[in-house]
Amino acid sequence: MRKLYFGLLAAVAVGLTHTSRGAAQNPIAAPAPPAALPEGAPPAAAQPPAIPTQPVSPGAFDALQGITGCAPAEPPAPPTPPPFGGPLLERQKFLGDWGGARERLRERGITFDIYSTNVLGDVANGGSRESLQQRGRIDYLMHVDGEKAGLWKGAFIDLHAEMAYGTAISGYTGALEPASIAQILPTPNGYVGALTGVKFTQALSERLITFVGKINTAEAFNQPFTGGALGIDGFLNGGLTIPAVLVRTIPYSTYGAGFAYLKGADPVFSFSIFDANNTPTRDGFDTFFDNGVVFVPQINVPTKFFGLPGHQGITGSYSTKRYGIIDRTAFINPILGLAAPTKSGSWALTYNFDQTLYAAPDNPKRSWGTFGNLGLADQNPSPFRWFANIGFGGSSPIASRKLDTFGVGYYYLGLNNALQNLAPRVLPFRDHEQGVELFYNCAVTRWCHITPDVQFVIPAQKRADALTVFGLRAKIDF
């Protein structure tokens, strides 16, 4: 208990100190908070708010997430965005309005967001080795409304830069799914800076949009009630944020292009093409589409079961790249010390859903509901044959805690025989991995959020015991 108690205190302190230092060292500025988007901008053009409320994004993989909020034919007048300034404990951002600069920039179509997320992880028992580790990240985002900025109507530009520091706890668990996906992106260890997203979007009509650029695909996967695939607002474990069968084929940060056909604010059909190379920490021009291409089609149908919003969808992926079954993927803990033959082509198919179960009568954006994914992939070179998860989450049911969120979820990961038989004496695997996670995201203020988290996992590696991981996440929105 003493170890965990001091760990909780340390996480808050480290979050504050690292954030200040990191922001000073990296001059890149960026983010566009959804609450502060200029009129006419797609509502999902930036990261989800620090405390997510009623989700507006589709429940499937959507590399178009940052651009799929095109307005309907006769949209209602948009609400006035909240001010950046105000009393310290009531403002949206810790640094406020920057002396009025933020508000003036927003009027000209440019919005910024900067937030720091620090995660303290403790393998309390089991796993490969008991350990207490801290790793943090700073995300910089910028959103430009082209029309307001003096370009042309329907044009949008989004940039995403990030820094990471410290050591991820996932290397001590013996699991393939990372205990904290926020800690392993863009890389799992060491101090690193990366420009992971530079996206240009053009709305061709009220129902058809296109995009091109360097795409941050984790930012794009924002399934309702999960908190998003970056692991900075909701679930920490990768098994509850993105279907594992997709991670063999889909890079974290890569060049791509695509389009989406919209119904209201939802992309009912989208198609994306990506470079198969993962290039988060370099420009990638030297390997531009030199090792295959990835195709990602998606069908996403909005629903109204029980009179409440939801989605039913199917996502597919196919890559022409040549893979080994243990090749590194950005979203899964690395498998080291083995060599494997390579094979061209890999595919995956997933079914996904989300469904609101409760919405507050006085504020429909305060809601909670359920989500799930069921996936299948090839037997080789994908290391995973089956994947499933299911969970509940959303706004806190405690009436007095309107900015808090919660989540509880379960995942199951079935391994392919090709991986189990690769080197059973050197690195023996079970035929599956499974885990449960619970978290409660507490809003200390609108710009500061503390999230205690606990996970119970049966890892894929046989040499690692069933484990308990305690986590504490501190996020500050600047």
Question: pLDDT tens digit string along 412-447?
Answer: 999 999 899 887 878 899 999 999 999 999 999 999
**Which residues, at least 6 apart from 5, have a Cβ–Cβ distance to it below 8 Å?**
none
**69 compared with 334, residue with greater pLDDT:** 334
CA trace torsion 320, 324, 327, 330 (10° rounding): 30
Q: Which CATH architecture has domain 2-77+84-477?
A: Beta Barrel (2.40)
pLDDT digits (tens, 9 = 90+) for 234-261: 999 999 999 999 999 999 999 999 999 9
The one-letter amino acid code at 220 reads: A
Closest CA to 168 of 153, 184, 157: 184
* Res. 27: pLDDT tops 60: no
The one-letter amino acid code at 395 reads: S
Q: SS3 of 12, please? A: helix
C-beta of residue 329 within 8 angstroms of C-beta of residue 218: no
If you average pLDDT over residues 24-35, what whole number do you get? 33
The one-letter amino acid code at 325 reads: I
Strand partners, 82: none
**Which residues, at least 6 apart from 168, have a Cβ–Cβ distance to it below 8 Å?**
121, 133, 135, 178, 180, 183, 184, 188, 189
Strand partners, 142: 112, 159
DSSP3 helix / strand / coil % (the chain, rounded to 5):
15, 45, 40
* Residue ranges with strand state E in 179-221: 192-203, 208-216
From residue 392, how far is each of 63, 252, 302, 370, 406 by CA, in Å? 24, 26, 19, 4, 8
The residue assigned the tokens 């091109």 is: 212
The residue assigned the tokens 């508000």 is: 103
End-to-end CA distance of the chain: 32
Specify the DSSP element, H or E, that contains 5. helix 2-25
pLDDT digits (tens, 9 = 90+) for 329-366: 999 988 765 667 889 999 999 999 999 999 998 888 89
Specify the DSSP element, H or E, that contains 182. helix 181-184
The per-residue pLDDT for 14 is: 39
C-beta of residue 84 within 8 angstroms of C-beta of residue 100: no
What is the percentage of the chain residues whose pLDDT exceeds 70? 83
The per-residue pLDDT for 76 is: 58
C-beta of residue 214 within 8 angstroms of C-beta of residue 196: yes
Spell out the domain ranges in the chain. 2-77+84-477
The per-residue pLDDT for 39 is: 35
Tokens of 33: 């908070």
Closest CA to 353 of 414, 303, 408, 297: 303
Backbone angle region of 213, left / alpha / beta, with phi > 0 → left and psi within -120 to 50 → alpha: left
* Res. 41: pLDDT tops 80: no
Closest CA to 387 of 278, 272, 250, 240: 240
Specify the DSSP element, H or E, that contains 6. helix 2-25
Highest mean pLDDT among 35-39, 117-121, 203-207: 117-121
Query: CA 279, 272, 178, 478 torsion: positive or negative?
Result: positive
pLDDT digits (tens, 9 = 90+) for 372-384: 999 999 999 999 9
Determine whether 394 is exposed, middle or buried from the number of CB atoms within 10 Å of its CB (0-12, 13-18, 19+).
buried
From residue 242, how far is each of 13, 30, 55, 237, 254 by CA, in Å? 30, 25, 16, 9, 17
Closest CA to 83 of 35, 149, 29: 35
Tokens of 23: 């922001």
